Structure 1
Amino acid sequence: MHLRHARSLLFLPASNARAIAKARTLSCDMVILDLEDAVADDAKEAARANAIAALAEGFGSRIAAARINVEGTPWHGAEMVALKGSAADYVVLPKVEHPKQVRDVFSVAQKPVIAMIESARGVLAAADIAATEGCAALFMGNNDLRKDLNIPASAGREGLAFAMQSVVLAARAAGLAVFDGVYNRLGDAPGLADECRDGHALGFDGKTLIHPNQIAVANDAFGPDAQALDDARRLIAAATGGAERFEGAMIETMHVEQARALIARAHAVGA
């Protein structure tokens, strides 16, 4: 699967062998073995070994990645080196604020890098980060961004809207995929669905997740529905080239391209 088609991107602790095994049975599009926030300091080295072994075993058709610790931590260098020879498709790098961070990881790990934008500096530098060689996609890190912007955890996403749209613009200008941040309230499926719809409307390709029970909601929100696919097929069949009328609306080549992209996405995710 192409990264741009991923709808559900599940973070799980690289120290949790049971969670890793379960991930191979889940309907997520991407598995991200977390070596950073989800792993205690005294478990980092064991988690790194677990991650390398799990990546070698693979996750079927799912995209596989590992999130490493940020530069300046004791584990950063060893994780980059370990991932160089691993079966990871991507390296996820947290707290990116300048392009050099991406270049350094790409140079050592020799894997495409997904940059997490988690601060005001990261948002302002997002366009330069996305344009850096080796950068494959951008993730929103909304929890840390809220803290940096002094937005209460209990507040809605209104205060993040400009930052999120800025990151989407940066990714699209560089031709990259871009994914919405995690939703923390695990038992709130309606709230998650609302946030997924909001993220989809902002232009995100999919959503990063922290629990398996969030996968179906994200897949539904970011995957083409039956009506949209039917509309796309009818539009393609009716189009003859140039601007013309279709079911009460004006369409042109751009709309045909969008319809074909929607169908390609559906095929990629088995919809």
Structure 2
Amino acid sequence: MTDFDRAQLRRSVLYVPGDRPRAVSKAETLAADAIIFDLEDAVAPGAKADARETVRAHFAAFPASDRERVIRINALSTPWGTEDVLAARAAMPDAILIPKADDVADVLAVADALDETDAAETMRLWAMIETPRGVLNAPAIADLSRQSGARLDCLVVGTNDLAKEAGMAGATARQHLHAWLMQIVLAAKAGGACVLDGVFNDHKDAAGCAAECRQGAEMGFDGKTLIHPAQIAPANAAFAPAAEDIERARRLVAAFASDDNAGKGVIAFEGSMAELLHLKQAERLLARAAAAAQRERSESP
């Protein structure tokens, strides 16, 4: 799987508590595009060391995977952060997820720690935006994705913590977060980073989860973080290109490739004008659709 393909396949990103060995081992069999092995919020303080060892043992047993794997560490300012970074570096996941990234320094500190231990350049960093300060600094954080040494690849919204830090409460808190969510999406797009929506808390509400996944896709998120395997299918469906969009993209690519339009930057297409930027969008959509189809084939029994 190429890095480009992986960037297209973050529709469903499942958190798995690191202190639950059965859940950790089962993660490799799930249809999620990516797995976050969690050493932070999902693990009680007294279980941190055991969680770290469980995740380390899992990566030793499964050094390779056909899905993207991420380890969420505790902040470097906590008693567990340094050991988490060392364990994650040894496990060699695709990325390390930094919690509560308030500013650029929080990301660069982990990047520096990886450099000091000669971690492979392919090991990326994801940053959680889950505080008001993180939202305000999201543009600067996202811009790190353009700096190779910073390793940043993805922003992850922590909607629960963000609502809590802002003093929001109740079942409708998300609707009041929309302006901030769009601010994070805009920052990610400007910086060239992937951006993932926060979790849907009620894993028994299938309809509500599907609706929020569709909303996240409409808002411009690249995928959604999840708390339960039952949420994987709705996320995969919501963040996959629709069949009619795939067919239109194919027609557009074919139109630009025709002899009549060879070398043109603007063409007439189905009643409107299409530019090269539309061609690039169509090619990206088709690449995303192809990667999703390949994943579905690999998951089929």
TM-score by length of 1: 0.95
- Could you tell me which residue of structure 1 aligns to residue 11 of structure 2? 7
SS of alignment partner, residue 157 of structure 1: helix
Q: Where do 1:162-201 residues align within 5 Å? A: 162-201=179-218
- Conserved? CA contact 2:14–2:228, under 8 Å: yes
Q: Which runs of 5 or more structure 2 residues have no equivalent in the other structure?
A: 145-149, 295-301
- Could you tell me which residue of structure 1 aligns to residue 107 of structure 2? 102
- Conserved? CA contact 1:55–1:64, under 8 Å: no
Is 1:121 the counterpart of 2:133? The answer is: yes
Runs of 4+ in 1 over 3 A off after TM superposition: none
Is 1:80 the counterpart of 2:105? The answer is: no
State which of 37, 40, 46 in structure 1 corresponds to 2:44: 40
- Could you tell me which residue of structure 2 aligns to residue 233 of structure 1? 250
Cα–Cα, structure 1 residues 186 and 59, in superposed 2: closer, same or farther, change >3 Å?
farther
Q: In structure 1, how many angstroms separate the alpha carbons of the residues matched to 2:37 and 2:90?
A: 16
SS of alignment partner, residue 116 of structure 1: strand
Letter of the 1:199 counterpart = G
Quote the offset at 1:131 in angstroms: 2.1
Compare 101-110 and 180-189 and name the one that shifted more. 101-110
- Conserved? CA contact 1:3–1:63, under 8 Å: no
For 1:114-155, what per-residue CA distance to the aligned partner results, in whole angstroms no more than 9, with x for missing partners?
100001100001111122322211000000111122222311
- Conserved? CA contact 2:127–2:155, under 8 Å: yes
- Conserved? CA contact 2:102–2:134, under 8 Å: yes
Q: Which runs of 5 or more structure 1 residues have no equivalent in the other structure?
A: none
For 1:37-62, what per-residue CA distance to the aligned partner results, in whole angstroms no more than 9, with x for missing partners?
11111111111011112123146211
- Conserved? CA contact 1:55–1:86, under 8 Å: yes
RMSD after superposition: 1.5
- Could you tell me which residue of structure 1 aligns to residue 68 of structure 2? 63
Percent identical across equivalent pairs? 42
- Could you tell me which residue of structure 2 aligns to residue 257 of structure 1? 280
As a proportion of its length, which structure holds more helix?
Answer: 2
